[in-house]
Structure formats: C-alpha cells, structure tokens
Amino acid sequence: MVDDRPSSFTRYAVRALPGGLVLLRFEGLRHDLPEGYLRRTAHLPAFWVREGVPLEVEVRRYERWAGRLPARPSRFCNPSEPRQGVAQRFAALAGLPHLTERQVAWVRDKTAMKDRFRQLGLRTARYARVRSARDVERFAGRYGWPVVLKPVDSFACVDTHRLTGPGAPAGLDFGARRWMVEEHLGGTEWEVCGLIHAGEVLDAWPSAMPCRPLDIVDGAMNANISVGSGEGPPVDLRALLQRVVTGMGIDHGYAHMEFFVVGGEVYAGEIGVRLAGCEIPANHGHAYGFDVFGATLDVYLGRRPVLDYRERRCAGDLLLPLPRSGTVRRITPREELLRIPGVIDAVLKVGVGEPVAARRASHNASGYVHVAGASIGEVESRMRKVLDVFTIEVAPA
C-alpha cells in the first residue's frame, strides 16, 4: 500500500493486517511522514522508492527486496491522489493489480476526465485547456465570468482559483504546469462515494457540503456530511457511479465523485479512484453504522464485502481551522470538544508549542471532529456550535 501521509485508513490497515501489509514510500516525501508515525510503523516492511532514479531500476530493486519477504505482495492499494501516476506505474511494472495509463489519465487529468464523462453521455461544465491569461479571457468572453482556473492534475483545490474578471492570480506561472479553465456552475454541489468489486458498484453514499470547496479555501466552514437519512439528491447515485466505473473499465476500489445538480440536471464534476479526502470515508461508517475501512480493505484484497448497515443518520467531519503558519500558543482541548452535543469523536493534529504550516488547500486543518445528528441541518447547526467553542492561537514564526 502506498504510504505518503498518515491517514485514518492507513492506520486502520496497519492494525488490521499486522503480518500482511507492505508499505510503499517515496524518499522525496519523507517530510510528509512524521517521526512518530515512522516509529509506530517501523515493525512493517517498507520499500522506499529513491528520488531521481528510473522507476524501472527501482522496481528491479523492489523485486529483489520482496523476494526476501515471508510472502510476496499480490494485491495493491493506492490511497493517494497526487501519487496516482507513479504508484500505478510502479504496480504495473511489479506485476500487481493496477490502473492502466489511460485509466490514470481519466481519473487524474481533469480535461481527459471530462472528455470521458462527455463520451459517456454525462453533462459537464464547459471547459478548455489554456496556456495563457489571454486564453482564459477568450473562454470567459464566450461563456461569461466567473470562471474556475486550475491545474489539470490539482487536488484539494490546491492552486485552484475562481476568477471574476481578467488578470491571472499573482505568481501564477502558465509555463510550469498544464492548466484548464471551466465555467463556474451554480446549483448544489454534492459528493458520492462507492465501493467497486469485480466491476460492480456495491453501493453509493452521498455527502452534502455546507460550503463549496472553493469557498472553504477562502475561509468558509470546512465540512462534509454523509447523508444516511435519505435526504440526498434526487439522483440514482449508484447508477451514476456505475456508468462511470463501467465506462472507465474500473475493476475494484473506492470511488469518490463530485457532481452538481443545476435546475434538476446532473453535471459531472470530478472523480477519483482512491479513498476520499479528509475524513469522508469515516463519515460513512458513522452514518450507516458499519466498518467502512474493513469493507474498503476487502475490495482491495479481492473480496466482496458484506455491507451490514446498523444505523441510518447523518454524520460529518468538521475540519478545525488552522489560520496561519507559526507556533501554536493555545488550542481548545479535545475533552472540551467532546462535551459539545453531537460530537462523537475529536482529533487534534497539533498541540501547544508545536510548529504548524498553513496552506491554501481544502484539507488545511489543525484537527477534526465527527458530528452526528438526525438531519443535514442538525449536523450543520452542531458543527457551527463547535466553531463557536473552538479557538486556536498561532504565534508568527
């Protein structure tokens, strides 16, 4: 399993597969793996891919290394969005289950993705590849402002901007990456996740977003709410996901898709074939009362999971603010957060005296809480009460 940052899923897999998990790590990302996490996973075999060395060379080195293990890995899981290309190529060279180069383009390159959506008969926002601010202005001249400008391989809204008029954001270099522009859609933005086994979408779980991702990176409440109460969008979500999964030839895994409902019509946004970001998968477990991470491991291990739901409610993750980089002076204790009505779990990622680095990304946070309730509205109201209580002081570096 690719391990490029600690996550709830990787921690679950470490516990669930103590003798059957091998970690694939990348030397260039060592700084993303905290020393404490490295110590806690030191008992597991981990292969480090060296930076600047041809991948074919590293796979040959991996083959020799894996030959000394008690059992050679036969399954593969990549939970990482930014590592999709290199991770799937590594798996292909190593003879492990993988996405093809074409499939990686469909789930990673947003223009190729939207091309494929349209080939499958789905509506999308109008879009175009661009190489200059002038290209953006020509697009807006045809379809109107505002528009959304983003790298074709962005994730978590990193380097994604809503533009309301001519002029590129400060510091943007069109020559450094491949860019696209698309029209800004109104309506309601939703998310849907699902598990895939043998090409079949086993079920689909909708999520509501109190605030849109582009508003989140500008300071709006950062939350997702899994809707197990039946309040979801008037869309056959399983059929929607199945159309995309079949059209992209996806055999197994976890799919996360964003879409818009505008005037009763569905517009496909983006899809990822990997676990959803933030704590969205855990939300589904809390909303439906089942072991979502165990079910996810099953599909990556080639097993059909039993989706035994024991709950039907709404449950969401609220990411706690991280206002700026510096040193934490004060932060609301976990115990105080757990006393707030509806809060069923709380995790603080930072503590007093620790250095922190804030960034403009939808996963920027000092921690998170899980909040449950009978409806979307009740969960959102309880989340706002959490924000009223939570405080964090960060002294400038």
Each residue's pLDDT tens digit, 190-234: 999 999 999 999 999 999 999 988 888 888 999 999 999 999 999
* Domain contains 119: no
Question: pTM (2 decimals)?
Answer: 0.94
Q: Are 377 and 208 in contact (CB under 8 A)?
A: no
- Domain end among 183, 199, 230: 183
Residues 192 and 234 in one domain: yes
- Do 152 and 131 fall into the same domain? yes
Same domain? 169 vs 206: no
Q: How far apart are CA 279 and CA 362, in angstroms?
A: 12
Per DSSP, 2 falls in state B
Using a pLDDT cut of 70, give the percent of the chain over it: 100
Domain total of the chain:
3
Asked if residue 248 lies in contact with residue 276, where contact means CB atoms within 8 angstroms, the answer is no
Average pLDDT over residues 289-309: 97
Domain hosting residue 145, numbered range: 126-183
Three-state DSSP class for 330?
Answer: strand
Identify whether 30 is part of a domain. Answer: yes
pLDDT digit string, tens, across residues 16-65: 998 899 999 999 877 788 888 999 999 999 999 999 999 999 999 999 99
Spatial separation of the C-alpha atoms in residues 333 and 331, rounded to whole Å? 6
Question: Over pLDDT 90: what percentage of the chain?
Answer: 87
Q: Count other C-beta atoms under 10 Å from residue 56's C-beta.
A: 11
Taking only the tens place, the pLDDT of each residue in 243-268 is 999 999 999 999 999 999 999 999 99
Output the pLDDT for position 80.
Answer: 92
Question: Residue 168 pLDDT > 90, yes or no?
Answer: no
My answer on whether 267 and 161 are in the same domain is no
Three-class SS state of 316: strand
Last residue of a domain, one of 151, 168, 183: 183
178 lies in the same domain as 193 = no
Same domain for 79 and 142, yes or no, is no
Domain containing 172 — which CATH number? 3.30.1490.20
pLDDT of 156 over the 80 cut: no
Pair (179, 195) in one structural domain: no
Both 247 and 347 in one domain: the answer is yes
- Please indicate, yes or no, if residue 109 is contained in any of the structural domains: no
- pLDDT surpassing 80 at residue 373: yes
Mean pLDDT of the chain: 95
Best CA proximity match to 147, nearest among 128, 132, 173: 128
Q: Does residue 34 form part of some domain?
A: yes
CATH of the domain at 361: 3.30.470.20
The predicted pLDDT at position 361 comes to 79
| pLDDT grade for 170, boundaries at 50, 70 and 90 | confident
Whether 301 and 216 share a structural domain: yes
User: Do 85 and 130 fall within a single domain?
Assistant: no
Q: Is residue 284 one of the residues assigned to a domain?
A: yes
